[in-house]
Amino acid sequence: MTVRTIRIFGDPVLRAACEPVGEIDDGIRGLVQDLLDSVALPGRAGVAAPQIGVAARAFSYNVDGDIGYVLNPVLEVSGEPEPTGEGCLSVPGLWHDAMRHPWARVTGTDLDGEEIVIEGEGLLAQALQHECDHLDGMLYLERLPKDVRRQAMREVRESDWF
């Protein structure tokens, strides 16, 4: 079991768009295992590859005891975005209302090249959107209204980890 250290706000890997996963080799298999091990800890709904320092389009999720992963996800959303309480392992200690769609679906592949479809509402929809944002180099802070984002950035600057 390899639980990887989570990269924190300010690390350049969190701001870069990730490359698609190509050939499935031992490196990708190891990445997936590390993502699954890292998301299995209590209180974690998702871990994206850049959060453990790898700029690849892959993430793991852990919602209501359902743990899995997806490679090269393509996100679809439905419904009007609404404020949803959200935090991020890469921005520890902060919790704000980010704008998220109430339903989401991700289509991608597994390690065997087979199609995976994950869809849902509530926390699962939020996690799918949050993790796909990471793969595009976006943190949830960018989904906050301008005045709330300004306050959140103040909290980041005042945090003991920044």
Q: What pLDDT is recorded for position 1? A: 59
- Catalytic residue, candidates 80, 114, 131, 155: 131
Cα separation of 34 and 125, whole Å? 23
Per the prediction, the chain carries an average pLDDT of 96
Give the mean pLDDT of 19-25.
96
**Helix (H), strand (E) at residue 107:** strand 103-109
pLDDT tens string 106-140: 999 999 999 999 999 999 999 999 999 999 999 99
- Measured over the CA atoms of residue 19, residue 24, residue 30 and residue 34, the dihedral's sign is positive
In angstroms, the CA 131 to CA 137 distance is 10
What are the boundaries of each domain within the chain? 12-158
**Confidence at residue 79, expressed as pLDDT on a 0 to 100 scale:** 97
The two structure tokens encoding residue 78: 């439905």
Which pTM was predicted? 0.95
Quick one: CATH architecture of 12-158? Alpha-Beta Complex (3.90)
Q: Over the stretch 31-66, which tens digit does the pLDDT of each residue have?
A: 999 999 999 999 899 999 999 999 999 999 999 989
pLDDT attached to residue 2: 87
Summarised one tens digit per residue, pLDDT across range 6-20 is: 999 999 999 999 999
**Distance between alpha carbon 85 and the CA centroid of its chain, in Å?**
15
**114 labelled catalytic:** no
In this structure, the number of other CB atoms found within 10 A of the CB of residue 17 comes to 11
